[in-house]
């Protein structure tokens, strides 16, 4: 009887041990991380500097009163496209207005027309019928859409990259890209920020509003036949001065490979060393935090 009890207890512990071993085996299988990988590619790489810019009109036509008197007519409203020579205002002199001269007959009582000397869009209207104005007062402003530029502030360290006529890309809100070129470089550096104002002009006319925030991309360097991997495949240390990739070997093992970076753009990074093979499997997802020589389950 005693031996039977001991045998029962022994069998119980054996069962428990088998169950725990099975559970551990199942947990081990579950903890093998799944990773995604790609193969390196040979590409032509372009690296850009990206700067914030704001659209503005370099030239504006200021319409002034030629006499002292009262505005009797305003012929246009804000936002209208005005042609050169188009009548904008009618003004009567103070004397004629005081005499309530409503007729435009006669030299003394006739209205004086204020016309636009250039074509443009009426952007500012600073008077209305009945307004009193003096000779030289600003009545309106016209913007000339063809004189639109994008102003950027370029750190002086990039001065050797900026030259008049150099092409660049202007990226609008929403992602649309326009081609521009360096139009004018101001001979002055801001004392505090050590940046230089540069004006970029659109290569082909596109009507844009003033004060629009855009980004400008200027080519920094390029290289043909560069060995590249996706940006999310390159990991770094906390100080971001050492870089590595995780490469899959023997189909199930992820090993850490220190690398030296080259050119970089929004999506790709050039690997200068070591020399990767086009058949190498480089982890793009799931590699962060993996210790060297970790077991992984690769997913293409």
pLDDT tens profile 15-53: 555 555 554 454 445 588 899 999 999 999 888 999 999
Q: Which CATH number is correct for 60-143, 2.40.50.100, 2.40.10.10, 3.30.2320.80, 3.40.190.10?
A: 2.40.50.100
Conformational region of residue 240, where left means phi above 0, alpha means psi within -120 to 50, and beta covers everything else: left
pLDDT digits (tens, 9 = 90+) for 170-195: 999 999 999 999 999 999 999 999 99
Q: What's domain 49-57+146-222's superfamily in CATH?
A: Efflux pump adaptor protein, beta barrel domain (2.40.30.170)
Q: How far apart are CA 195 and CA 231, in angstroms?
A: 29
* Among the ranges given (26-40, 223-237, 283-297), the one the predictor scored with the smallest mean pLDDT: 26-40
pTM: 0.66
Domain ranges of the chain: 33-45+224-299, 49-57+146-222, 60-143
The per-residue pLDDT for 13 is: 52
The rounded mean pLDDT for the chain is 86
Span 50-70, pLDDT tens digits: 999 999 998 888 999 999 999
Q: Could you tell me the fold of the domain covering 33-45+224-299?
A: 2.40.420
Region 269-288 average pLDDT: 92
């Amino acid at each position: 009887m005693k031996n039977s009890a001991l045998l029962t207890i022994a069998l119980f512990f054996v069962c428990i041990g088998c169950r725990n071993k099975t559970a551990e085996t199942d947990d081990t299988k579950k903890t093998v991380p799944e990773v995604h990988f790609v193969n390196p590619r040979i590409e032509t790489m372009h690296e850009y500097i990206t700067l914030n810019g704001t659209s503005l009109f370099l030239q504006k036509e200021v319409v002034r009163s030629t006499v002292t008197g009262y505005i009797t007519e305003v012929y246009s409203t804000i936002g209208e496209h005005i042609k050169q020579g188009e009548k904008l205002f009618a003004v009567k002199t103070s004397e004629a207005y005081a005499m309530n001269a409503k007729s435009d007959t006669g030299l003394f009582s006739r209205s004086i027309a204020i016309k636009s000397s250039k074509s443009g869009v009426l952007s500012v209207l600073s008077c209305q019928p009945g307004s009193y104005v003096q000779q030289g007062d600003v009545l309106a402003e016209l913007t000339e859409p063809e004189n639109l530029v994008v102003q950027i502030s370029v750190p002086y360290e990039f001065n050797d990259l900026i030259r008049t006529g150099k092409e660049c890309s202007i990226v609008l809100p929403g992602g649309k890209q326009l081609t521009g070129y360096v139009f004018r470089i101001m001979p002055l550096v801001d004392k505090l920020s050590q940046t230089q104002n540069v004006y970029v002009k659109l290569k082909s006319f596109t009507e844009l509003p003033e004060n629009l925030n855009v980004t400008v991309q200027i080519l920094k360097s390029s290289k043909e036949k560069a060995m590249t991997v996706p940006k999310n495949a390159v990991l770094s240390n906390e100080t971001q001065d050492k870089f590595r990739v995780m490469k899959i070997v023997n189909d199930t093992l992820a090993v850490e490979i220190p690398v030296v970076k080259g050119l970089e753009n929004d999506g790709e990074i050039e690997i200068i060393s070591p020399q990767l093979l086009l058949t190498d499997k480089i982890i793009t997802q799931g590699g962060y935090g993996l210790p060297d020589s970790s077991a992984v389950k690769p997913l293409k």
